[in-house]
Structure 1
């Protein structure tokens, strides 16, 4: 696995877009801190902060599901900006799916690193209200 933060971020999105559970798991082991966290907007049904490799492993396995019930699909990376050291920002576009319907959506995701390992990923979705509307 690569050790440069922007390469780790790119590898993650490539694996997530390809729904590659093995690659996601390998990346988790090689590039995420044991106590790494992911934080989604609280306005999402799965919003909030989750911590630790064991929990992230389950979440990443869900990213590899071929036909998700809810969440992002058709993920593409619009851009990756390396903050020069311990932060990388990725702009991603995707369809957000719930209740059999989808809307075009996207997010900025701020990746924070320490010692070459991911310590946190914080997602900022464009429109959590539109995502919630699909649930009604």
Structure 2
């Protein structure tokens, strides 16, 4: 998925071009960037907020599972999150469930292994 490569490279505008105009991201509410983010502008806002608070570095090749019945793609990711405020790092395992419309990403639901541990160990503030 080019979106993941573009996001990890920091090219947020290019990453957002892979989004459907009706894009919705659902992120756990407990995270500082949690909630629902709508549209391409919402996608850029989400990615900007994440980049303000943490540096994200993929630590393994993402694994993808395609569900042919409805076109959903599930991504299993391993990444290192480093707090920009504290410099503390934490390896994170997460799943992202992607929905598509007209060949563009129309939705993503993100499931982190342990949001409370992320907040506590990285020194983040709950939303």
Tell me the secondary structure at the aligned position of residue 25 of structure 2: strand
From 58, 63, 72, the equivalent of 1:79 is 63
Aligned counterpart, 1:53: 40
Aligned counterpart, 1:25: 13
Deviations 1:37-91 (A, max 9, x none): 111111212111111112222333566xxxx452351124430111124200001
Distance of 2:75 and 2:103 partners within structure 1: 17
From 74, 88, 107, the equivalent of 1:120 is 107
Count how many residue pairs are aligned between Structure 1 and Structure 2. 119
Distance 1:27 1:100, change over 3 A: closer
Aligned counterpart, 2:3: 12
Tell me the secondary structure at the aligned position of residue 105 of structure 1: strand
TM-score normalised by length of structure 2: 0.79
Tell me the secondary structure at the aligned position of residue 92 of structure 2: strand
Q: Is there any run of 5+ residues in structure 1 with no aligned partner, and where? A: 1-9
Aligned counterpart, 1:6: none
Matched ranges for 1:32-111 at <5 A: 32-61=19-48, 68-71=51-54, 73-75=56-58, 76-84=60-68, 85-98=70-83, 99-111=86-98
1:123 deviation in Å? 0.3
TM-score normalised by length of structure 1: 0.75
Distance of 2:21 and 2:29 partners within structure 1: 23
Distance of 1:69 and 1:27 partners within structure 2: 17
